[in-house]
Amino acid sequence: MRSWLQELEPLVPTLPVWADELYLELHRGCATTHPDQKRHNRTAERLLLEAERVLWWAQRMGRRQWDPAVEGRLCPAQRLQRCWQTLLFHQFHDILPGTATGEVFAQLENQWRRLRRQASHVRDQVLQELLGTAPRDGPRSAAGDHWVAVQLQPAGPWPRVVRLPPSQQHQVLPPMAGVGWWWFQSTGEASAPPLHPVRIHQAATPHHWQLDNGLCTVRCGPEGVLQLFPPSGRQVLEQPLALGRWRDRGEYWDAWDLAPDHRQHSLGGVTLGQPELLEQNPCMVRLRWRGAFGQSRISMTVCLAAGSPYVELRLSVNWRQVHELLSLDADLAQPAERWAADTSGGVIERPARPRTAGERSRWHCAVVSWMALLQQQGGLAVLVDGPQGIHVQDHRLSVALLRGATWPDPGADRGWWRQRLGLMPLDGGWCESHVPAAADHLRWPLWLRPLPSAQRPDPARQLWFPWPEYTQRLLELRPTENGRQSQLTLQQLAPCRGRLGWLRLFTDAELKPLQPWEIRSVPLSDRV
């Protein structure tokens, strides 16, 4: 293959260029079928990226035990490389879930778990040596609980809320513009109220609440989420969010494709019970609904955290339906003009009102981590914890949650599934609202461990790698390996050029401005 591609290189100036997205019309269900493979894939990918970043920092700090030149054993970088090979080999079953039978996926389960254990072991081992932390269930300090939280992916200008075991007390950590760590102490006493605390107001009508933190406001009732508001107070929804059920059968490639006419065959909605207030404090408010439909059961929890620009929906479904699509549907107060979504290596944008046959055929889109509706005044962003199929047209937004495909794997989607989504009302466009960073805020949890010693680290907060540009996304921070220099890979996620002057502390390379949407790898120097 390599030799064949090399022969084509001289012909590059004369070859046709496809200036559009690659859309497969018979694969609209691939983003929804087999959610277990998507969960394994995205978790393993995150763990491997985290392990590479902490290994890079250990090498930069001169920790010789993590040097790739150590002989007589397989170094961590080589172990991670083997894990990447396994991940990429099995990624095929995530992208095209209809290519294998149930027996194949049963064999994959153990391999996915082994890969995740290996990646998390490297990450945890390096971080525990660097920070002097104890295991997750290790001994606590006698002078109060001392903790270290590590952020391994830049996650925007918003604070992070962590829940500390075993007391389940919350701690709000200030925003960190980059990769680094916080030290903090939990004494069990009431702390100062956080910035943008969550307030809850109970309406005169029973079982109706309004949650507000100054950045996002959500009204809830027996029907679920009734309304969303950005800071300007503009109403986002025309009708409450609904869980819809649709008949999905008749396609030859059952696991690959959605029935194009499924919206014409409604099976009714999902009726939820009365909301239950699970938690109420300035750091977090949680409401939960329970319901049942057909042979399936569902639980939906709405969470609003202090300083968060989005409200989080946590869905837990015991899915037993066959040839049925479960979706989260929203009727918008204003029609959408266009909508944008991330894809592998870029951003796609489509009109919300298709006019041509080609535009009408692309009625469903596989979203990797976020999508945003663009209206005359603001919009709405949907943040997802993994690939989801989303459909937008005019006033309607629909997120495909689960399917009931039976071929070639009869049990492809059956079982307990947990899914997380974020709903982020916008006053501006997706770029100035930092929607990609908000998706990382949802998707990348903090690494949290206790400190066995009561000695306070100095300083109590440290940036390993600053990240001042929210329009640029960190893709890779790779350590030195097999004689190759460590490198940073990033992308400019904006229709404008991006500056790289802030990287001068880490590289000797020439730093030309990033072009819109450009992905670039920058070699990093070894100096501290």
Q: 16-26 pLDDT, tens per residue?
A: 888 888 888 88
Q: Please give the CATH superfamily to which domain 199-441 belongs.
A: Golgi alpha-mannosidase II; domain 4 (2.70.98.30)
165 preceded by a cis bond (ω within 30 of 0): no
Q: What is the pLDDT of residue 117?
A: 97
Res 101 pLDDT > 70? yes
Q: What is the pLDDT of residue 205?
A: 83
Top pLDDT among 19 and 81 is at: 81
Q: What is the pLDDT of residue 142?
A: 45
When pLDDT is averaged across residues 371-375 and rounded to a whole number, the result is 94
Q: How confident is the model at residue 1 (pLDDT cuts 50, 70, 90)?
A: confident
When pLDDT is averaged across residues 186-210 and rounded to a whole number, the result is 81
Given a contact cutoff of 8 angstroms between Cβ atoms, the answer to whether 90 and 116 are in contact is: no
Phi then psi for residue 412, to 5 deg, are: -55, -40
Top pLDDT among 482 and 447 is at: 447
Q: What is the pLDDT of residue 20?
A: 82
Q: SS3 letters for 171-224?
A: EEECCCCEEEEEEEEECCCCCCCCCCCCEEEECCCCCCEEEECCCCEEEEECCE
Q: How confident is the model at residue 2 (pLDDT cuts 50, 70, 90)?
A: confident
CA 180 to CA 487: how far, in whole Å? 18
Q: How confident is the model at residue 69 (pLDDT cuts 50, 70, 90)?
A: low
Q: How confident is the model at residue 512 (pLDDT cuts 50, 70, 90)?
A: very high
With vertex at residue 332, the alpha carbon angle to CA 331 and CA 333, rounded to the nearest 5 degrees, is 125
The rounded mean pLDDT for the chain is 91
When pLDDT is averaged across residues 4-20 and rounded to a whole number, the result is 88
Given a contact cutoff of 8 angstroms between Cβ atoms, the answer to whether 151 and 180 are in contact is: yes
Q: What is the pLDDT of residue 363?
A: 92
Q: What is the pLDDT of residue 24?
A: 86
Res 47 pLDDT > 80? yes
Among the residue ranges 64-68, 87-91, 100-104, 395-399, the one predicted with the least confidence is 64-68
Q: Which architecture does CATH list for 31-131?
A: Up-down Bundle (1.20)
Q: What is the pLDDT of residue 123?
A: 96
Top pLDDT among 27 and 192 is at: 27
Burial class of residue 279 (count of CB atoms within 10 Å of its CB; 0-12, 13-18, 19+): middle
Q: Helix H segments across 27-185?
A: 35-60, 76-95, 102-131
Q: Where are the domains of the chain?
A: 31-131, 145-190+444-468, 199-441, 471-527
Share of the chain above pLDDT 70, in %: 93
Q: What is the pLDDT of residue 139?
A: 57
Q: What is the pLDDT of residue 74?
A: 65
pLDDT digits (tens, 9 = 90+) for 167-190: 778 999 999 999 999 998 876 655
When pLDDT is averaged across residues 376-398 and rounded to a whole number, the result is 93
Res 41 pLDDT > 50? yes
Res 92 pLDDT > 50? yes
Torsion sign over Cα 292, 293, 299, 304: negative
Token representation of residue 287? 């409401």
Residue whose C-alpha is closest to residue 186's, from 148, 132, 137: 148
Q: What is the pLDDT of residue 143?
A: 44
